Structure 1
Amino acid sequence: MNADGLHTKETEAIIGCAFAVLNDMGHGFHEKPYENALVVEFRYRDIEYAQQPRYPLTYRNEPVGEYIPDLIAFGKVVVDAKTIERITDHEIGRMLNYLRATGLQVGLIINFKHAKLQFRRVTLTKPEAPGHQS
């Protein structure tokens, strides 16, 4: 299954929230106020979310730490609020790791640094079962 079209309605709703936040707050703050403002907008629009849930990280079946995403929206999408110059392959690679850690397939990196909102949808295609073809 190709994950590119997965959760499109949900990611569009999240991006709409991000536009509302940026239009109201403006750019130039640190990441946390934008994360918190997204939470307010999610509540306003009745979007299910979890703020900073904890996911255990293991290595060889032993706990080695935890990953704490900014937000999980709709129970399906990892949302990472940023205030960086631009979204690069580095952030995309990190989001792929976040998706592996959470077991989810879709993530959104949202950059509030500039007057024009920047975002990147990242998908993780899960390996297909042996003998299965799409």
Structure 2
Amino acid sequence: MTRSRENELAEIVVDASFRIHRTLGPGLLESAYEAILMHELQKRGLNVAAQVPVPVVYESVRLDTGFRADLIVEDSVLVELKSLEKIAPVHKKQLTTYLKLSGKRLGLLINFGEELIKNGITRIVNGMPD
């Protein structure tokens, strides 16, 4: 997938997140935001998978208990959702690791718990904040 397509997908995810947050505000469970964002993205014609298992391979041993990606959009952009008062540094590290394990280049960490959603969106490319 081209970087321009990844960027386009990220813009769509961010736009949908703004719309959801503007309508519902902070305070719902993460699982509710996940279901709503998935619905919103599918309405926009995107292929979205939720709770996608991504294995960890360690010393040639495949461990299927690695993690579950909250959402993967168009098999390209990994979206990790939170509903917290504030994002901690560990959450960004978590997304960085998820990108590495999944082989994805672009990830979005979206915290619906922020009063202003723009303060709750972090974009990470190749493991580095963008």
TM-score tier by shorter-chain length is: 0.7 to 0.9
Gaps of 5+ in 2: none
Q: After the TM superposition, which segments of 4 or more aligned residues of structure 1 sit over 3 Å from their partners?
A: none
Based on CA coordinates, which of the two structures has the bigger radius of gyration? 1
Query: 1:63: Cα distance to partner?
Result: 2.3
Tell me, what secondary structure is at the counterpart of 1:92? helix
For 1:129, the equivalent position in structure 2 comes to: none
Once the two structures are superposed, the pairs formed by residues 76-87 of structure 1 within 5 Å of their partners are 76-87=76-87
Gaps of 5+ in 1: 126-134
Mapped partners of 1:122, 1:6: distance in 2: 16
**Given that residues 30 and 83 in structure 2 are in contact (C-alpha distance below 8 angstroms), is that contact kept between their aligned partners in structure 1?**
yes
TM (normalized to structure 2)? Answer: 0.85
For 1:55, the equivalent position in structure 2 comes to: 54
For 1:124, the equivalent position in structure 2 comes to: 126
Tell me, what secondary structure is at the counterpart of 1:55? strand
Paired amino acid for 1:81:
L
Once the two structures are superposed, the pairs formed by residues 57-72 of structure 1 within 5 Å of their partners are 57-64=56-63, 65-72=65-72
Mapped partners of 1:85, 1:115: distance in 2: 8
Mapped partners of 2:5, 2:67: distance in 1: 23
1:48-101 Cα offsets, whole Å, 9 max, x none, are 211111111121011232321100012111101101222343211111100011
Q: Give the number of equivalent residue pairs.
A: 122
Query: 1:115: Cα distance to partner?
Result: 2.9
By percentage of residues, which structure has more helix?
2
Mapped partners of 1:43, 1:81: distance in 2: 17
Tell me, what secondary structure is at the counterpart of 2:52? coil
Q: Which has the higher contact order (CA 8 A, sep 6+)?
A: 1
For 2:26, the equivalent position in structure 1 comes to: 27
Q: Which shows bigger deviation, 5-14 or 100-109?
A: 5-14
RMSD, matched Cα: 1.8
TM (normalized to structure 1)? Answer: 0.83
By percentage of residues, which structure has more strand?
2
Query: 1:6: Cα distance to partner?
Result: 7.6
